Structure 1
Amino acid sequence: MNIFIVVLLILSCISEIKCFSSENSSNICDEIKRQQHRADPSLCPSKFSVNISSSSYSIDEPIHIFIKTTTLDTPFHGVHVVALDENQLQVGSWEINTKKQDENSCNGSIYIFEKAVTNTDAIWQVSSPVVGNIAIKVVIIEDDSAIYSNCYNFILTSRVSMNSSNIDEEDAAAINTTTTVTTTTTTVTTPPPTSEVTVNITWSFASNTNVTSVLMTIHNLKTSQWVAIGLGQNIAMGEAHVFMCKRLANNEIVINRYVNPGDHDPPEPPQPDAGGVFTPGQQQFTDGVVICRFTLSNFIAQTLKQVRTLEPLSQFRQYHPLIAIGVLDKDNNAQKHSRDSRVAKSDTVQLNQNEIILYRIPEVKTDLTFVRTHGIIMIFTWILIVSTGALISRYFKTSWANKMICGKAAWFTAHRFLMSIAAILTTLGFLFILVFLQGTWIPNDTTRPYAHSITGIIVIGLAFFQPFIALFRCEPNSRYRFIFNYIHAFVGFSAFILSVATLYLATYFHVFADTKGRFVMIAWIVWVALIFLIFECSEYFIRKKNRESGYTNINASNTTVADLIENPTTPKFTSFTVDNHEETSVQQKAKNILLAIHILVAATLSVILTTLIL
């Protein structure tokens, strides 16, 4: 019966995914208009992130607005976008890369998607001159009842138009600054320092064509300078796939692809098996802003062959962005960057997701306090507390049979206390993530987060009902007591095994700084399997030795030490001793030492794993 209730609870939780109807777009429009006059920006949720590719605009320059959920991917069903000039008139045109179910006007543009999404890229551009600044306003439509207005607003400043062939005075001075000396020196172009260069790199992924479109917007890049983004699997400048945008001495803009295997300096051209097809797009230098475009496509299944030590580029692999800025020599070859003009970011990105990477541009961070708290609670609960409680229950019934706490066997009291604490902490950890996500469910188009949510809710359901299953167990002398024993053990170990999978999936989330969390979880999996194996072998040899000696005790029957303690016919406050010939004192001490080692290892791994959470 209890198992049936657990199944119903899980199914009801899974079915809580919110529905949305595009027929309500007129009502949504009315709600947006009302909120624009009365919304309190302080009430804006932290579960969405909106970033813009540039803080200024010019004619025919696409401005990307990346809208995405935070770490655990809360879905949304639509957006409303509008661009207004200083006279509050709509200007420019909008495009969006997500497949739409409906599109309407509402003092702007409402886009309703065919299904809930976790990210989208809205593109705005203006084709005729506009005087003054432009206000960009974004409204996120989570569902029929959750619409967030006045939360995501941006101001774009105007840049004076100039042709790409024109060169400002500072650039001209840079080009003409040459030094000609004797044969022991060369003539070089000395560009201004790169300390003022800012970089905004965005890319969008088209799932229907498997094409990644990349846009590099670079401010203050002078002649004979370059900016490059590297995609590396380590947080260090070195092995990486490199894409370099150059502003040549003649003001021409070019984009090139390289690979940097090992510590190769400078990067070298890629081999045919470098992964994907690199296609340069239209490059621009307009109003002092360098724009480099390219696409990556035609990724085919790669063999185990690598580019020297560098693995082929993949749309499905996670990379650390590496940003560097440097100067070009007279032959337009990139010179090595200085130490203060490069950065290796700890966050990971993928080519099959929409991303935005900023360098020297302030970035708004999402408050992940509740996510961190959720993770820390679950780590200590299921790695340290639950594993210890399970070991005590399974392997210390006999060892601690003569030790009593409050009239109960010590093993029983310890097991009950630890598992009760685990159930309480698991429920508390679930509430933290529930509040962070504001009661929404993870969409099934995000593989790992969705899998984490499913295994997680099963673990939470089992952990919540396990104490109630124990509370309503039948009497120890009942003929059906063995049914409870098997169900209680099955539910407990099922929850514990699923918790390992759930925690491992969580190490792929962005709250973890890098892949070290996965190695910690692998170490935990190896250790917990090893410690259970050691205890099982110990129990096996003890039983085998007793069979050979012809000794039997109460554990040979259906009655256990716990049953004696719980049996109402046993005086509640009567002290008694179970004559235990199964284990010697040396064996008992060895088991206690093993348990202490396990607690130390579990606590250490828990601390290490929590320190890796950003």
Structure 2
Amino acid sequence: MALFKGIILKLVVTYVTIQTVSAELISWDSGCGSTKGCFPYCPKGCEYLVTWQTAGTSTTFTLQAEETDTNVYLAVGFSKDYRMGEDSVVGCIVPGTTVKNYYNEGTDTDELATPLLGLSGTSVTQTNGVITCTFTRTLNEASDDKYFDLNNDYILMLVVGEAEEEDGAYKLEEHHKIPWNSDGKVDFNSHYVVDLYKLNSPAVKLHGIMMVLAWLLLVIVGMVTARYNKDMLPEEKLFGTKVWFQVHRTAMVVACVFVVIGFIPIFVEIRGYSQIVSEESKESVKAHPVLGIVVTVLCFLNPIMALFRPGGDHKFRWIFNWAHLGVGAAAQILAIVTIFLGYVLERSMLSNKAIWMTITHLIVLAIICAALEINKWMTTRKKNQVENRNGVITDDIEMKEEKEPIQEPTKPSVLPFALLLLLGGFLIGSTLAILVIIADS
């Protein structure tokens, strides 16, 4: 329980942190789109702003980003793709107030042989939680092939990371925030406004849609059916197998198929792990993909276990029943947490409506399941009372006195059927609403 509360608390802190936007610390540059090229993110005041102005053989850059930590760097990268690696970088070290050239190769970012090559007019300041870095960079320096020629177009990347002092010099450590990437390659000889690349491509949307269908609809249908329809339709069969089991098995198999369909394209799209941004804590870095992998493993573990389940009257059947329930419940809880973490990923740009719709979805589910549990308990209690009064022996001890049999009611209660119909209709409607929100993001 403490672990679950910790996960929920971390989720809330992450969400509040990401959604909180400070006052307009970074002002919009009126020259954007006319006398300057700009790469901004300004939904409610600017979180960051990159401007450039090319004249002759050089370009003057101004980088601005919100950051309260002081032992950090602000860097701009020029990349051939959306992945960090083999990129030309200019890094602005806040504690050292220095601007240098770097080359990013894999996870290592090293200074060029001549760190100040092609740089002039450098300045680094941090005031009121805003880092500002200005420098002029020549478009090309033929003496170093790791100094990219800005006469060519590149993806523009902006990132904040930790600066670590080593032997009197500062190094650019791996960043703990996702880089802000331009939506397409940038022509630095032109002055226009470049949009932010968002995680809302068709592949990303497919990932979200498949996971919502799997975990917020199909898995819930499968679990609810196994829990409540087993008693309501104990003997009814479909194709030689009990109806409740057919529905349960079909829902779970289709859910696993949807998980696979959603799992593959997201890894193809981002070519590896994603990161979840948390200004206050780095513990949640990479939480969404890691939990997603765990959930996917659990998703397939349960049907594999089911292939080896003992018979219904086997002495070890109870072990399987508890293991099946435990793995299923753990997968469902972690899946819901992972879905919420996906909602608040900074680059997803997903409307808050998805969060509130999902919360409503879960609250209604909890209320109706509570009503079904109460009805199940009352029905079982009433049935036991009738059996006891009819003289049914359950513990191999003979009753000393037989009582007149009492007919057990044969007409099933309408209430659980009505509750299940209500739940099914609501789950379908709310799931469709969430899918529409994701598709429109």
Q: TM-score, normalised by structure 2?
A: 0.58
- The answer to whether the aligner puts 1:154 opposite 2:153 as a matched pair is yes
Cα distance, 1:205–1:512 mapped onto 2, change above 3 Å = closer
**Cα shift at 1:150:** 9.9
Structure-to-structure mapping, 1:603-614, within 5 angstroms: 603-613=428-438, 614=441
Contact 2:386 2:408 in 1 (8 A): no
User: Does residue 488 of structure 1 match 2:302?
Assistant: no
From 425, 441, 457, the equivalent of 2:293 is 457
Name the CA shift for 1:360/1:107 in 2 (closer, same or farther; >3 Å): closer
**Structure 2 partner of 1:564:** none
Once the 2 structures are TM-superposed, how far is the Cα of residue 121 of structure 1 from its aligned partner?
Answer: 11
Deviation at residue 480 of structure 1 after TM alignment: 0.9
Q: Given the alignment of the two structures, is residue 363 of structure 1 paired with residue 374 of structure 2, yes or no?
A: no
Give the CA RMSD over aligned residues: 4.7
1:102 positional shift? 2.9
Quote how far apart the aligned CAs of 1:430 are.
Answer: 0.9
Are the structure 2 counterparts of residues 475 and 383 from structure 1 closer, same or farther at C-alpha, using a change threshold of 3 Å? same
Show CA shifts across 1:541-594 (max 9, x none).
Answer: 1122223333599xx989xxxxxxxxxxxxxxxxxxxxx957732x1x322221
How many correspondences in the alignment? 312
Superposed CA deviations along residues 201-234 of structure 1, whole A, max 9, x for unmatched, are x99756569xxxxxxxxxxxxxxxxxxxxxxxxx
Corresponding residue for residue 360 of structure 2: 523
Per the alignment, residue 419 of structure 1 pairs with 252
Equivalent position of 1:545 in the other structure? 382
The answer (yes or no) to whether the contact 2:276–2:287 under 8 Å persists in 1 is: no
Instruction: State how 1:162-561 maps to structure 2 within 5 Å.
Output: 205=160, 361-363=193-195, 365=197, 368-440=201-273, 442=275, 448=284, 450-509=286-345, 510-550=347-387
Q: Is the contact between residue 180 and residue 197 of structure 2 (CA under 8 Å) also seen in structure 1?
A: no
498 and 417 in structure 1: CA distance in 2 versus 1, 3 angstrom threshold: same
Residue 136 and residue 406 in structure 1: after superposition, are their counterparts in 2 closer, same or farther (change >3 A)? farther
CA distance 1:549–1:476, change in 2 (3 Å): closer
SS across alignment from 1:76: coil
CA pair 487-382 structure 1, distance change in 2 beyond 3 A: same
- The C-alpha deviation readout for 1:282-305, integer Å capped at 9, x for no partner, is xxxxxxxxxxxxxxxxxxxxxxxx
**Distance across 2 between alignment mates of 1:419 and 1:151:** 53
Give distance in 2, aligned partners of 1:523 and 1:449: 27
Please give the secondary structure, in 2, of the residue aligned with 1:475.
coil
Separation (CA, whole Å) in 2 of partners of 1:592 and 1:52: 59
User: Residue 56 of structure 1 aligns with which residue?
Assistant: 54
SS in 2 for 1:478: coil
Shift of 1:96: 6.6
Seen in structure 2, the aligned counterparts of structure 1 residues 463 and 557 have a Cα distance that, compared at 3 Å, is farther
In structure 2, what is the Cα distance between the partners aligned to 1:491 and 1:152?
A: 56
Larger radius of gyration: 1
1:371: how far off? 0.7
Contact 1:96 1:121 in 2 (8 A): no
Aligned residue type for 1:540: W
How many Å apart are 1:62 and its aligned residue? 3.0
Which amino acid is 2:363 matched to? V
Aligned twin of 2:417 = 592
Per the TM alignment, residue 104 of structure 1 is displaced from its structure 2 partner at its CA by 3.0
Match of 1:344 in 2: none
Separation (CA, whole Å) in 2 of partners of 1:457 and 1:388: 22
**Alpha-carbon shift at residue 524 of structure 1 (Å):** 2.1
SS in 1 for 2:350: coil
Distance 2:330 2:267 in 1: 23
In the TM superposition, residue 122 of structure 1 has moved relative to its aligned partner by 9.3
2:112 maps to 1:104: yes
Cα 1:378/1:101, change in 2 over 3 Å: closer
Cα distance per residue 1:173-225 (max 9 Å; x no partner):
xxxxxxxxxxxxxxxxxxxxxxxxxxxxx99756569xxxxxxxxxxxxxxxx
Distance 2:306 2:83 in 1: 38
CA deviation string 1:75-100 (max 9, x = no partner) = 73663259xxxxxxxxxx84579997
- Offset from partner CA, 1:78-136 (integer Å, 9 cap, x none): 63259xxxxxxxxxx84579997632349998xxxxxxxxxx9997514xxx8xxx369
Give unmatched runs, 5+ long, in structure 2: 1-48, 64-74, 91-98, 118-130, 165-176, 184-190, 396-406
1:513 Cα offset (Å): 3.4
8 Å contact 2:103–2:111 — kept in the other structure?
no
The Cα of 1:440 is off from its aligned counterpart by 4.3
Change (3 A) 1:76 1:62: closer
The verdict on how the C-alpha distance between 1:428 and 1:583 changes in structure 2, with shifts beyond 3 A counting, is: farther
- Structure 2 residue matching 1:584: 3-state secondary structure: coil
CA distance in 1, matches of 2:360, 2:270: 30
What percent identity do the matched residue pairs reach? 20
Q: Conserved in 2, the CA contact under 8 Å of 1:459 and 1:498? A: yes
1:79 corresponds to: 87
Equivalent position SS for 1:473: coil
Contact preservation (8 Å) 1:448, 1:505: no
Q: TM-score, normalised by structure 1?
A: 0.43
Aligned partner of residue 110 in structure 2, secondary structure:
strand
Secondary structure of 1:521 counterpart: helix
Bigger helix fraction: 2
What residue is the counterpart of 2:136 in the other structure?
A: 125
Structure 1 residues 136, 424: closer, same or farther in 2, change over 3 A?
farther
Gaps of 5+ in 1: 1-50, 83-92, 110-119, 142-148, 156-201, 210-351, 559-579
User: Match of 1:361, as an amino acid?
Assistant: V
